[in-house]
């Protein structure tokens, strides 16, 4: 206990700096490389960071793990060359230059000249190199900064193309479709990381849409819920869960019949109650007017339906822009990704704008027969075929589409 107390003033930061000075005096890292030179090589490919931003906790954590791996292999006698690099491509760099040059659209880039724009991007990729080197060195990582590689170097880019060529020659390259985040400003697909840049919380309108079922004896409509009304013109299918139970209910005020998941009956719109009537409390407790989530003053339960029996039903789409596809599209399909803990238990599918939408419509043969319907151009505006909203940015017509009465 006495020894512990004597060391109570021990400073970890000071000790770390002492070790760093010792390593520098001994040229320890390069000495290790010299002593293992000619030995078994351990190749370590280090995914490079962007130099357009300062290092943060995530970089330090990942860098520490990388350092542990390479040190362990070097201690086993292997020669481990470690070379730092910089990622010079992608939206991170473009975002910086767009702010600097006040770029708003792709046309602005063309007006300034692609060469001018590219040169401006090249000029910022090493903006924070000094800060990065100081931080990485301070955390004790052994790696070479001198002559660090850059992904914009010609030899690096050619090496990537060489690898791609090998895949091509081995017939391992195919053409397909995948739903990706997309930038209308850059007119390009984004990685998940890039899509998260400059993240903001915004409010999206949530709407319920009814789709009349063809030939139903009660003229019932399936009710779908969506937070992306702008995708409704591209609707090609409705997806249910075959394992859920659905309920057919009649609106007592106008005789309209709806179908939703039984567990989501409480989501149906309810007319304002007259004063004095019993209704659910704010905590959702049951009353005489609410049974199994259904407001019995507003709706009458007609039947309970297994989700599997809904599969294959045809329905009338909200818009008639793609009626030529009705032979294979505009039908009910099923998948377990549809849950009963949100929405209505019925999901509207626009296969060009959702990963699950694309997957289930592909599996159901709708895309193969109808093709991939993309109702939006590269600038994020509706194409001419969407006559009611042609040329308008999709997010600016959400409210208009939400108010459509079909």
Tell me the domains of the chain and their CATH numbers: 10-88+125-152 (3.40.50), 208-266+288-402 (3.90.740.10)
Residue 404 pLDDT grade (very low, low, confident, very high; cuts 50, 70, 90): low
Question: Residue 89 has what pLDDT?
Answer: 79
Helix, coil or strand: residue 207: strand
Mean pLDDT estimate for the chain: 87
pLDDT in tens, 277-332: 333 333 333 334 455 678 888 999 999 999 999 999 999 999 999 999 989 999 99
Both structure tokens of 96:
């910086």
In the predicted structure, residue 18 carries a pLDDT above the cut 70: yes
| Average of per-residue pLDDT across 94-119 | 88
Question: Residue 4 has what pLDDT?
Answer: 47
| 204/208 Cα distance (integer angstroms) | 13
Do 270 and 298 meet the contact criterion of CB atoms below 8 Å apart?
A: yes
Of 137-146, 334-343, 362-371, least confident by mean pLDDT is 362-371
Q: Beta strands 182-183 and 294-295: pairing type? A: unpaired
**Per-residue exposure over 43-53, b if at least 16 CB sit within 10 Å of its own CB, e if not:** eeeeebbbbbe
Do 333 and 238 meet the contact criterion of CB atoms below 8 Å apart?
A: yes
Alpha-helical runs (H) found in 255-397: 355-363, 366-370
Question: What are 295's strand-pairing partners?
Answer: 290
Query: Dihedral sign, CA of 99, 101, 107, 113?
Result: negative
Question: Residue 206 has what pLDDT?
Answer: 83
In the predicted structure, residue 342 carries a pLDDT above the cut 50: yes
pLDDT in tens, 144-191: 988 788 888 999 999 999 999 999 999 999 988 888 888 887 778 888
| Average of per-residue pLDDT across 25-54 | 90
């Amino acid at each position: 206990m006495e020894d512990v107390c004597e060391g109570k003033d021990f400073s970890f930061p000071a000790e770390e700096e002492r070790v760093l000075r010792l390593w520098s005096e001994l040229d320890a890292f390069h000495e290790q490389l010299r002593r293992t030179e000619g030995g078994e090589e351990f190749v370590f490919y280090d995914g490079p960071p962007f130099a357009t931003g300062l290092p943060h906790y995530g970089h330090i954590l990942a860098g520490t793990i990388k350092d542990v791996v390479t040190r362990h292999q070097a201690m086993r006698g292997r020669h481990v060359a470690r070379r730092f690099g910089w990622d010079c491509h992608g939206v991170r760099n473009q975002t910086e230059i767009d702010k600097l040059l006040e770029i708003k659209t792709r046309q602005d880039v063309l007006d300034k000249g692609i060469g001018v724009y590219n040169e401006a991007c090249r000029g910022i990729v090493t903006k924070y190199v000094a800060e990065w080197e100081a931080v990485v060195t301070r955390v004790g990582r052994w790696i070479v900064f001198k002559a660090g590689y850059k992904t914009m170097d010609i030899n690096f880019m050619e090496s990537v193309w060489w690898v791609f060529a090998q895949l091509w020659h081995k017939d391992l390259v195919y053409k397909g479709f995948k739903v990706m985040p997309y930038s209308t400003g850059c007119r390009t697909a984004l990685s998940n990381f890039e899509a998260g840049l400059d993240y903001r919380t915004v409010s999206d309108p949530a709407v319920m849409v009814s789709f009349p079922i063809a030939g139903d004896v009660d003229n019932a409509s399936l009710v779908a819920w969506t937070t992306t009304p702008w995708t409704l013109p591209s609707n090609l299918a409705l997806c249910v869960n075959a394992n859920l139970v659905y309920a057919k209910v009649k609106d007592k005020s106008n005789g309209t019949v709806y179908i939703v998941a039984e567990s989501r009956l409480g989501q149906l719109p309810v007319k304002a109650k007259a004063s004095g009537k019993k209704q659910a409390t704010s905590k959702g407790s049951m009353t005489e007017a609410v049974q199994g989530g259904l407001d019995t003053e507003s709706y009458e339960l007609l039947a309970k339906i297994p989700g599997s029996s809904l599969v294959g039903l045809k329905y009338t789409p909200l818009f008639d822009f793609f009626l030529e596809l009705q032979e294979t599209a505009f039908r009910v399909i099923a998948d377990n990704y549809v849950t009963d803990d949100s929405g209505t238990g019925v999901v509207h599918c626009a296969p060009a704008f959702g990963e699950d939408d694309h997957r289930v419509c592909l599996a159901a043969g709708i895309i193969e027969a109808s093709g991939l319907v993309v109702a939006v151009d590269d600038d994020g505006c509706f194409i001419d075929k969407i006559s009611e909203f042609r040329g308008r940015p999709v997010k600016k017509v959400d409210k208009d589409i939400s108010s459509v009465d079909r």
